[in-house]
Structure 1
Amino acid sequence: MISVALISLVLFLLGAQFLKLQWKSRGFPPGPTPFPIIGSIWWINFRADHGSLKKLAKKYGNICTLWLGHKPMVVLYGFQAVKDGLTTNSADVSGRLQTYVFNKMANGKGILVSNGLIWKHQRHFGIGALRKLGMSNKGMERGIQTEARYLVEFFRDKAGRAFDPSFPVVHAISNVICAVVFGHRFSLKDETFRQLIEACNYIVAFGNSYLYYISEVFPWVAEHLLGPTQKASSCCDFVHAFVRQEIKSHREKGKIDKPEDFIDIYLDQMEKTKDDPGSTFDEDNMVQSVFDFFLGGSETTATTLRWALLYMLAFPDVQEKVQKELDAVLSPSHLICYEDRKKLPYTYAVIHEIMRFSSIVLITIPREAVKDTTVLGYRIPKGTVIMPNIDSTLFDPNYWETPHQFNPGHFLDKDGNFVTREAFLAFSAGHRVCLGEALAKMELFIIFCSLLQTFKFTPPEGVKEVNTDFIFGSTMKPHPYKLRAVLR
């Protein structure tokens, strides 16, 4: 009798919750029916392929709603929906969802997943610091040229033998960020630096695993039972400790007249604002900002460069055209600089097509409405999660002539001049647009051109087909591959 009563009570409560959800979903964009506890996230398999969100948009429209339990998440699909959703009331949808994992990783500090005054102050300061360090002049370019030279030498030492380019590419890109934030680079043989890269790679890989979602929904399970969650937390601690050690070294060096890196500039800012009770400039925010620069600025660019080399294997005709343009415009001894992009329209178009076609960020870190607002005509209450599908803008058939083909012509006009495309939102849009966009483009151009100026890339002997499928994760990586770098 008691069990029957208990079952009846549970069913009654579930029924009441179901009706409450249906009532709550009125006024939101359409979407799959939400159920108690699980919401409507059951409807979609994020890991399957690009098709799941496409199927959702086809059934419910380019703006629709999924429910994470009882929390609404508005999904934006296609260029127009993503652009309008992120830019029309940009400040209103500039928040970050504060979740169990995000709090473990950043505790509301830094730039990437912070909110409010902390986010505004740290982001504005980060942009200003990059400018001071030479984002708009030759200062940062020299650091990239240095890493390009080391990478060329590494490839040259392979003497035409097949090898996996992944780690040297990651090392080179990571060292660009190191020069920006720490003021120096690390050797390939530095074991602590290798551990730092491995820790960052693990954090990124964890970010889109099933265990990540379990951790967010059931934090107590993650806290006590899930080893990978605890390992991801340990990796974050390792990176933070690494950064704190660098800060300690900078402090021991003492104040210098001209800041040489981000930590120098930040320490100077802390000194200037130490008597301001409203200041957000402290060591915790500095550590997390450096962490964010490193995580956001190295993994994404390195992954794109790995795709770039793979596509040169897959599309040898494109590689040949790039090299013909390089040979026609630049002398073999010319040191590649970013200004050269203006004389190399086809090469610059290829780099943008690599970014478009690889589409390494399928879904950006979700945003959150910080106040009641309107998105594409729908009233969106404060606290609603906004999930822009960036991938859908890069393959939108309404804006790209051949979206599912690798076609550098997407970025060229009829006269062969480079043109920007409004649907190219690889770096997102609105208030949370990637602040490292200019740096990433500079790195890709200088390193890609330096490599193709020096080598012809071919698959290893016996490899007939190049695998261009992606591995699903926080970023879409290519499957491990090897190549041969043959001196030209």
Structure 2
Amino acid sequence: MVRKQEETFFMILGLDPERIYLWLHRKLSEKYGPVFTVWLGQQHTVVLCGYEAVKEALIDQGEEFSGRELAAIFKTYLKGHGITVSNGERWKQLRRFSVMTLRNFGMGKKSIESRIQEEARFLLEEFRNAGEMPIDPTIFVMQAISNIICSVVLGNRYAYTDENFQTLLTLTNDNFRIASSAWGELYNIFPNFVEFLPGPHRRFHKNIVQITSFLTEAIKEHERKLDPTSPCDYIDCFLIKQKQERDKPGSEFFRENLIASTINLFFAATETTSTTISYGLLLLLKYPHILEKVQKEIDHVIGHNRCPSMNDRVNMPYTDAVLHEIQRFTDVVPLSLSHCVLQNTKFRGYTIPKGTVVIPLLSSVLHDKAFFENPETFNPGHFLDENGFFKMNDAFMPFSAGKRMCLGQSLARMEIFLFITTLLQNFTLKPAVDTKKIDVQPERGGLLNMPHSYKVCVSSRKPL
């Protein structure tokens, strides 16, 4: 058993459940080093802190650490199905199929870029319709981001006024807020106890039932219209694969995995990226001098006669640095998703027993003082060299690393660049309150670090 000290930690004493990652990073790792054991409820867990430890586990020993441990709040509905939380042959089949299918539908290619550019125009229209009245940009950004993955997975984009679409996004956002709350964390740590208590975790399960119902109806509609010679989206391709492997022993292409995989893709591609963009806009409101420099670079490189494209990024080092710093500073998924070791594993002189839960603490990587001079400060200079050119940092791991790296990272990087530059190209953004009153620390930080609610005033802008 791994122990940095002859001591077992119990997280129930003196702990803010919405800030577990800070407790692990700033208190325990500073005292016990980058590898230590903690008991989360009855769960024996190994925590890895800092770039070097996380890199050694997820990349250098990626196969051993590639297992996934399902958080309790998700167990009642995923039950090991889908891409994100499955293991073994199921995970290999579903991930291989999903990577290939998403690429075929343009993930990381020019075709998906044009979809994002088109959706960005719809987003601009929503902002314009607000006039100069203060608006909360979060819901508009979430609608735009969701429509991209909906077009790939469901074959549809939805009008922002569509009631079913609005309901789906409301349920999704509500569940992420629940999972990121104290209740969500306590449920994961003490599921057998919290399960019998009243609380928002009960609403979480009701929301999942409604989301599953929506997706089930979408799948039935796909089955009715399916043309095996001309698949239109991810669901079509899955249904075709399901028919092809109907009599194949060990095939993972059946209804439960389709529903769970669709939920995985929709959740991951919608909430994390939209949160990053919304949080990024808040940071730019907080630091108007940074916002102004980005807009000057947009004017110089892109101008106002065409929409931004990914080809522009290489010529925009300051903007590129700002977007990387937004992802680092916001630290949207601080705990990562839990891993587990697939076999008895030797790691840094310890033996980690097969099946042990492992938390590669991404927050500690993105705030590693050995790689970021002032990690608690929002500073685009973390990604610029002495000549002002963009400089990648090895400890930039917002999408995790290794075999379990985020499936949609190429899409997310495209969306973050294109949506933010398009908004800044077209609008002047001003906070609805004094910048000194803008709080850029997360409102909550369990599963996701979420920004405080805020409003922004937008108006059409001319080149600086």
TM-score (normalised: structure 1):
0.89
Tell me which residue corresponds to 1:204: 176
Q: Matches of residues 208-287 of structure 1 in structure 2 within 5 Å? A: 208-216=180-188, 219-287=191-259
Q: State the secondary structure of the residue aligned to 1:233.
A: helix
Q: State the secondary structure of the residue aligned to 1:47.
A: helix
Tell me which residue corresponds to 1:139: 111
Query: Counterparts of 1:464 and 1:69 in 2: how far apart (Å)?
Result: 40
Matched letter for residue 443 of structure 1: E
Higher relative contact order (CA 8 A, sep 6+): 2
Q: Matches of residues 412-431 of structure 1 in structure 2 within 5 Å? A: 412-431=384-403
Instruction: Please state how far the C-alpha of 1:351 moved relative to its aligned partner.
Output: 0.6
Tell me which residue corresponds to 1:402: 374
Instruction: Please state how far the C-alpha of 1:413 moved relative to its aligned partner.
Output: 2.2
Is 1:62 paired with 2:49? no
Matched letter for residue 7 of structure 2: T
Q: State the secondary structure of the residue aligned to 1:248.
A: helix
Tell me which residue corresponds to 1:476: 449
Q: Which moved more, 1:403-412 or 1:297-306?
A: 403-412
Q: Deviations over 1:344-378 (max 9, x none)?
A: 12111111110011111111121111210122331
Task: Provide closer, same or farther for how the CA distance between residues 316 and 99 of structure 1 changes in structure 2, counting only shifts above 3 A.
Answer: closer
Q: State the secondary structure of the residue aligned to 2:64.
A: helix
8 A Cα contact 1:29 1:65, kept in partner: yes
Task: Provide closer, same or farther for how the CA distance between residues 290 and 94 of structure 1 changes in structure 2, counting only shifts above 3 A.
Answer: same
Q: Deviations over 1:218-244 (max 9, x none)?
A: 545555443523321111111111111
8 A Cα contact 1:84 1:376, kept in partner: no
Query: Counterparts of 1:214 and 1:323 in 2: how far apart (Å)?
Result: 43
Is 1:485 paired with 2:441? no
Instruction: Please state how far the C-alpha of 1:331 moved relative to its aligned partner.
Output: 3.0
8 A Cα contact 1:345 1:418, kept in partner: yes
Matched letter for residue 3 of structure 2: P
Matched letter for residue 229 of structure 2: D
Query: Counterparts of 1:229 and 1:384 in 2: how far apart (Å)?
Result: 26
Tell me which residue corresponds to 1:325: 297
Q: What is the percent sequence identity of the aligned residues?
A: 38
8 A Cα contact 2:286 2:436, kept in partner: no
Instruction: Please state how far the C-alpha of 1:317 moved relative to its aligned partner.
Output: 1.0
Q: Deviations over 1:121-144 (max 9, x none)?
A: 111111111110111322211221
Tell me which residue corresponds to 1:33: 7
Aligned-CA RMSD value: 2.0
Instruction: Please state how far the C-alpha of 1:69 moved relative to its aligned partner.
Output: 4.6
Query: Counterparts of 2:187 and 2:11 in 1: how far apart (Å)?
Result: 18
Query: Counterparts of 2:377 and 2:433 in 1: how far apart (Å)?
Result: 26
Tell me which residue corresponds to 1:149: 121
8 A Cα contact 2:183 2:199, kept in partner: no
Q: Matches of residues 116-127 of structure 1 in structure 2 within 5 Å? A: 116-127=88-99
Matched letter for residue 148 of structure 1: A
Task: Provide closer, same or farther for how the CA distance between residues 340 and 410 of structure 1 changes in structure 2, counting only shifts above 3 A.
Answer: same
Query: Counterparts of 1:312 and 1:68 in 2: how far apart (Å)?
Result: 37
Instruction: Please state how far the C-alpha of 1:202 moved relative to its aligned partner.
Output: 2.1
Matched letter for residue 18 of structure 2: R
Rg larger in structure = 1
Gaps of 5+ in 2: none
Q: Deviations over 1:192-217 (max 9, x none)?
A: 11111121122212223333344445
Tell me which residue corresponds to 1:361: 333
Gaps of 5+ in 1: 1-26
Task: Provide closer, same or farther for how the CA distance between residues 250 and 66 of structure 1 changes in structure 2, counting only shifts above 3 A.
Answer: same
Tell me which residue corresponds to 2:23: 52
Instruction: Please state how far the C-alpha of 1:87 moved relative to its aligned partner.
Output: 1.9
8 A Cα contact 1:46 1:52, kept in partner: no
Query: Counterparts of 1:65 and 1:415 in 2: how far apart (Å)?
Result: 43
TM-score (normalised: structure 2):
0.94
Q: State the secondary structure of the residue aligned to 1:90.
A: coil
Task: Provide closer, same or farther for how the CA distance between residues 378 and 371 of structure 1 changes in structure 2, counting only shifts above 3 A.
Answer: same
Is 1:390 paired with 2:362? yes
Q: How many pairs were matched up?
A: 459
Q: State the secondary structure of the residue aligned to 1:280.
A: coil
Is 1:94 paired with 2:66? yes
Instruction: Please state how far the C-alpha of 1:63 moved relative to its aligned partner.
Output: 0.7
Q: Deviations over 1:158-211 (max 9, x none)?
A: 222211111111111111111111111111211111111121122212223333
Task: Provide closer, same or farther for how the CA distance between residues 396 and 221 of structure 1 changes in structure 2, counting only shifts above 3 A.
Answer: closer
Instruction: Please state how far the C-alpha of 1:93 moved relative to its aligned partner.
Output: 1.5
Q: Which moved more, 1:98-107 or 1:290-299?
A: 98-107
Task: Provide closer, same or farther for how the CA distance between residues 102 and 459 of structure 1 changes in structure 2, counting only shifts above 3 A.
Answer: closer
Q: 2:409 aligns with which of 432, 437, 460?
A: 437
Query: Counterparts of 1:188 and 1:447 in 2: how far apart (Å)?
Result: 16
8 A Cα contact 1:76 1:389, kept in partner: yes
Q: State the secondary structure of the residue aligned to 1:93.
A: coil
Q: Which moved more, 1:285-294 or 1:185-194?
A: 185-194
Task: Provide closer, same or farther for how the CA distance between residues 355 and 461 of structure 1 changes in structure 2, counting only shifts above 3 A.
Answer: closer
Task: Provide closer, same or farther for how the CA distance between residues 274 and 327 of structure 1 changes in structure 2, counting only shifts above 3 A.
Answer: same
